[in-house]
Amino acid sequence: MSGTLDDSGAADSRAGDSRAAVPVAVGAAVGQSIDVLQARSRVDGTVEFALNAEVPGMTHARLLRSPYAHARIVSMDVSAAERLPGVVSVLTAADFDRPGAPHRYHGPVVRDQPVVCGRRVRFAGDPVAAVAAESEEIATAALDRIEVVYEELPRVTTVEEAMADGAPLVHDRPPEVRDHGYADVRLAGVGGNVCTKFQLRKGDVDAALAGSDVVVDRTYHTPAVQHVTMEPHVVLATYDRRACALSVLSSTQGPFAVRDALCEMFRLPSSSVRVVVPPLGGGYGAKTYAKFEPVAAALSWKAGRPVKLVLPRDEDFLSLTKHAATIRMRTGATFEGRLVARDVQIFFNGGAYADISPRLIKNGGYSCVGPYDIPHVRIDSYALYTNLPPAGAYRGYGVSQAAWAYEQQMDELADVLGIDPVELRRRNLLVKGEAYATGEIMDEAHWEALLDKAAAAVDWSPDSRRGTGPSGRLRGKGVAVILKSTVTPSTTHAAVRLDADGTMQVFSSAVEMGQGAHTVLAQLAADAAGIPVANVHVTAPDTQYTPYDQTTSSSRTTRAMGGAVTKAARVVRDRVRRLASELLEADPDDLVVSGGTVFVAGVPSRNLSVAEVCYRTRTGSISGDGDVVTSGGLDPETGQGVASDHWHEGAASAEVEIDPATGKVYVTNLYVAAYAGRVVNPKLARLQMHGSALFGMSHALYEELVFDNGVLTNPNLSEYSIVSMGDMPRHLEVELLEEPGEAGIHGLGETGLPPVIAALGNAVASATGARVRQLPMTPERVLQAMEARGATEERDALRGLEER
């Protein structure tokens, strides 16, 4: 327990510096793989997911969804459904026209998404009515009795269609940012189907490209994919008409975003809307911002009864997707392998509603530079409205699309230059103290170490990149390095309360969704307060009691909420020291609180338990608050400024074998590394890395939402493949780069995902000599690329002959 707790001065003096990570105490719990809180309930089946929630008088909801991607609703008749015995209420757009009715539109940035559609549906799956009934079965039967007459409208489903001259418009009116939106989110370049645009300008790209020795110009594609959280979206909403209060239990990652959306929708003060969040069966971005809380709440408002909505899996597939993206990227370099310029147009398919696209396409946009020093950069990043399900937050947050492009391009450039891909990267990696393309200085840079480790993990050498394995399988290796931002600016508050018996409550709105947030917060709180971790309880988010937190996403919880909890716990510890000072006849500054005991520094025999201190001073409880508020922002014209409070750094390497007859890719070796700074709980941290690695592999090889005329054709696990145990790489290794001492904590939830996709792409290209620029790398696409390469080689050979 050395060096535990005498760091408060350093910590608190830096509290005002928003860009500084809050140093946390190195104590008994931090750094240990302690067991997850309530772990037992995870293996005996008793963990209380939202799915289990029930209240007296509860009704069950189902949604009627549009079968068309774009249509006008000519008429709707719900009377037969309303007459069905057991049906409590049917909600349609007409219900929102009455005085005192809630708003019908919501959205985290633009209020463009209807709770239920009125005159127009904008994607196949858009809800047009909602039914509350005594059972889910009755609600389902009622859906069949609702008659809707549609008149199909011309649709746009791809970004190319959306941008075409004279394209049908998804929204007739241009989007507008809602009041009190997020500070970092603006709209620009709005018009046609463009929801928003982000741009970055640095140097003189045209001149630099013209002056480059080589320029690689390629276009890359990534498809829409779904989160497939094993637990679907679940909401239980209770609107109390007499009290004019709304209470919602939801499987959301953003309790306060949901509360604020509902306050706005129902015109209620925040004290009248309560959002409670139990443990989630997976989030991965799917459950950020209000999703189905508005419709469940509106239905409860109309029905006068509690309403529970559990999305069937095929409807969960329609809830939100990762953005499909088309990325045209040109990179210029010198013969020596120095990057000179990059020009990028990246088009994100945002689907029918803005959701969080305006932020995501900004982050995805500026991330196209990668962890490299490029003097001249021009990036134009667009979010397009289309008639597809809305796209939004997804583990990797725009970076997996960007990194797929820029890390493929690095290898393509290396091939053109005849330079080893690892060496080309090494020559251009950002180093500490250098400026990113946004102008912000990189306070940390560990990419070289990460790259070296990734290369070593696959025994990288320039001549071992490709080879042939047993039974003629093609072997290849690939590497990738990435950087990822975190949402900036952001705000997090936390509170703790030490009770007189020496146990402590942590009041935090961090959502536990499998990442182990509550365990990690307990560890940080315990060490900062100086009590055993077993004495700490972390509350579930409850907007009525737990302090504000922006969101549980963006890999920010351990650092931001961890920092806030640490500060709060230190307030309590300092109060304990002051209370104990008279009892122990020592200056508070000379007192140490550790393991639930207060003692005089250097004289451990002069001690009192924390409980004894409280008892003797007639203290009932001690409360403390803490916060982490970061600042930053980018200039809308130039993209210059501070994009991220700090950066996440990752690398991956992969070895694959490919059957040349079928094109199937077998991953034999997968390695992922991330810079962690300081790891609070190694066992949990490594699980996060495993998760990212497998998500990456799944996106690289298997996952794609397939639409036919805008209708999703594979909305269940029978037709949509995600990585299974049988697909596991023969060898999977994750590594965390740590620094000894007081290094800042770096989130690890997403860092490993983007580089895995790109490393696998590079490995496939190494093995086959043919690049698949479109994800996922299915056997068909691999074969196609190999055939195309064969054709090119033949053509080049012929041309060579002719020229001779």
Partner 1 sequence: MTALHEVPAEGGGGDVKVPDADGRVPVVLLVNGAPHRVHVRTTEVLLDVLREDLKLVGARNGCGVGMCGACTILRDGRAVSSCLTLAVLCEGADLRTIEGLRGGGGEGGEGGEGGGLSRVQRAFLEHRAFQCSYCTSGFILALEALLAVDSHPTEAAVREAFSGHLCRCGSYSRIMAAARQAAGLPSRGGLARGAVTGGVTGCAPDEEPGR
Q: Which of 170, 736, 760, 786 binds partner 1 (CB under 8 A)?
A: 736
Instruction: Based on the shown chain and the rule CB under 6 A, indicate whether residue 514 belongs to the binding site for ligand FES.
Output: yes
- Whole-number Cα distances in Å, 92 to 71, 84, 114, 153, 299: 16, 17, 11, 21, 9
Residue 164 touches which of partner 1, ligand FES, none (CB < 5 to 8 A by kind)?
Answer: none
Q: How far, in Å, CA of 199 to CA of 383, rounded?
A: 12
Q: Which is nearer to partner 1, 556 or 570 (CB)?
A: 556
Kindly state whether residue 531 participates in binding partner 1, applying the rule CB under 8 A: no
Complex with ligand FES: residue 282 or 439, whichever CB lies closer: 282
Sheet holding 120-121, edge to edge: 120-121, 71-77, 147-152
702 belongs to the binding site for partner 1 (CB under 8 A): no
What mask of x and - would describe binding to ligand FES in positions 460 to 499, judged by CB under 6 A?
----------------------------------------
230 lies in the binding site for ligand FES (CB under 6 A): yes
- 446/649 Cα distance (integer angstroms): 7
Candidate residues 294, 516, 632, 755; the one interacting with partner 1 per rule CB under 8 A: 516
Kindly state the DSSP code that residue 436 receives in the 8-state scheme. P
Binding status of residue 749 toward ligand FES by CB under 6 A: no
Contact letters (x/-) for partner 1, 20-59, by CB under 8 A?
A: -------------x-xx--xx-xxxxxx-x-xx-------
Site string for ligand FES, 547-566 (x = CB under 6 A): --------------------
Tokens of residue 369, six digits = 């530079």
Q: For partner 1, which residue of 24, 26, 110, 228 counts as binding (CB under 8 A)?
A: 228
Question: What distance, in Å, lies between the first and last C-alpha atoms of the chain?
Answer: 78
Q: Residue 715 interacts with ligand FES (CB under 6 A)? A: no
Of 230 and 661, the one with the shorter C-beta distance to ligand FES is 230
Phi then psi for residue 26, to 5 deg, are: -90, 110
Cβ of residue 690: shortest distance to ligand FES, in angstroms?
Answer: 10
Give me the least distance between CB of 43 and ligand FES, in Å please.
Answer: 11
Classify 150 as helix, strand or coil: strand
Stretch 117-146 residues interacting with partner 1 (CB under 8 A): 137
Question: CA-CA distance, 341 to 638, in Å (whole number)?
Answer: 16
Binding-site size, ligand FES (CB under 6 A)? 3
Alpha helix positions (H), 332-488? 357-366, 399-417, 421-428, 447-457
> β-strands 307-310, 59-65: how paired?
parallel
- What's the rounded Cα separation, in Å, for the pair 568 and 680? 18
Helix (H, G, I), strand (E, B) or coil at 214: strand
Q: Which of 15, 214, 245, 449 binds partner 1 (CB under 8 A)?
A: 449
User: Of residues 194-223, which lie at the interface with ligand FES (CB under 6 A)?
Assistant: none
Q: Would you give the distance in Å from CA 465 to the centre of its chain? A: 32
Peptide bond into 85 cis (omega under 30): no
Of the residues 9, 56, 726, 800, which one makes contact with partner 1 according to CB under 8 A: 726
Nearest-10 Cα torsion for 220, 695, 750, 309: 110
Distance CA(424)–CA(415), nearest Å, equals 10
Among 168, 625, 732, 769, the residue binding partner 1 under the rule CB under 8 A is: 732
Site stretch for partner 1 (CB under 8 A), options 326-334, 625-633, 638-646, 683-691: 683-691
Q: Does 516 bind ligand FES (CB under 6 A)?
A: no
Q: Which is nearer to partner 1, 228 or 333 (CB)?
A: 228
Q: Burial of 683 by CB count in 10 Å (0-12 exposed, 13-18 middle, 19+ buried)?
A: middle
Residue 731 in the binding site for partner 1 (CB under 8 A): yes
Among ligand FES, partner 1, none, the one that 372 touches (CB under a kind-dependent 5 to 8 A) is none
* Residue number, nearest CB to ligand FES: 230
Q: Say which residue the tokens 């940080």 belong to.
A: 524
Q: Give the nearer residue to ligand FES in terms of CB position, either 286 or 405.
A: 286
- Candidates 660, 333, 286; CA nearest to 473 is 660
Q: Which residues pair with 7 in a beta bridge?
A: none
Q: Which one, 227 or 475, has the nearer CB to ligand FES?
A: 227
> Could you give the CA distance from residue 27 to residue 179 in angstroms, rounded to a whole number?
44
Residue 599's DSSP bridge partners are 592, 607
CB of 623 to partner 1, least distance (A): 31
What is the smallest separation between the CB atom of 515 and partner 1, expressed in angstroms? 7
Which DSSP string corresponds to 512-545?
-SSS-HHHHHHHHHHHHHTS-GGGEEEPPPBTTT
The least CB distance from residue 252 to ligand FES, in Å, is: 17
Q: Is 791 in the site for ligand FES (CB under 6 A)?
A: no
Cα–Cα dist 13/10, whole Å: 6
Cis peptide before 489 (omega within 30 of 0): yes
Residue 9 interacting entry, from partner 1, ligand FES, none, C-beta within 5 to 8 Å by type:
none
Which residues, numbered 293-332, are part of the site for partner 1 (CB under 8 A)?
310, 312-313
Q: How far is the CB of 48 from ligand FES (least distance, A)?
A: 15
**Cβ closer to ligand FES: 717 or 798?**
717
Name which of residues 337 to 396 contact partner 1 (CB under 8 A): none
If one asks whether residue 691 binds partner 1 (CB under 8 A), the answer comes out as yes
Among ligand FES, partner 1, none, what binds residue 278 when CB lies within 5 to 8 Å by partner kind? Answer: none
Binding partner of 82, given partner 1, ligand FES, none, CB within 5-8 angstroms per partner class: none
Question: Which residue in this structure is represented by tokens 């965390």?
Answer: 736
Q: Is 472 in the site for partner 1 (CB under 8 A)?
A: no
Name which of 533 and 684 has its Cβ closer to partner 1: 684
Q: How many CB atoms lie within 10 A of CB 130?
A: 27
Nearest to 204 by CA among 381, 375, 345, 372: 375
Kindly state whether residue 312 participates in binding ligand FES, applying the rule CB under 6 A. no
Per partner kind, with CB cut-offs from 5 to 8 A, the member of partner 1, ligand FES, none near residue 228 is partner 1
Q: Are 348 and 398 in contact, with CB atoms under 8 Å apart? A: yes
Site map for partner 1, 629-668, x if CB under 8 A? ----------------------------------------
Question: If DSSP codes are grouped into helix, strand and coil, which group holds residue 185?
Answer: coil
- CA nearest to 405, candidates 369, 373, 458, 356: 369
86 binds, options partner 1, ligand FES, none, Cβ within 5 to 8 A by partner type:
none
Q: Quick one: which of 31, 282, 489, 779 contacts ligand FES (CB under 6 A)?
A: 282
21 class by beta-carbon count within 10 Å (0-12 exposed, 13-18 middle, 19+ buried)? buried
What CA–CA distance (Å, rounded) separates 76 from 545? 42
- Across 257-274, b (16+ Cβ under 10 Å) vs e yields bbbbbbbbbbebeeebbb
Q: How far is the CB of 684 from ligand FES (least distance, A)?
A: 12
CB nearer to ligand FES: pick between 10 and 230: 230
Nearer to ligand FES, 201 or 683 (CB): 683
* CB-nearer residue toward ligand FES: 282 or 595: 282
Q: Give the separation between CA 65 and CA 311, rounded to whole angstroms.
A: 12
Binding site for partner 1 (CB under 8 A): 33, 35-36, 39-40, 42-47, 49, 51-52, 137, 227-232, 279-282, 284, 310, 312-313, 446, 449, 453, 513-516, 673, 682-684, 686-688, 690-695, 716-718, 722-726, 728-740
Binding site for ligand FES (CB under 6 A): 230, 282, 514
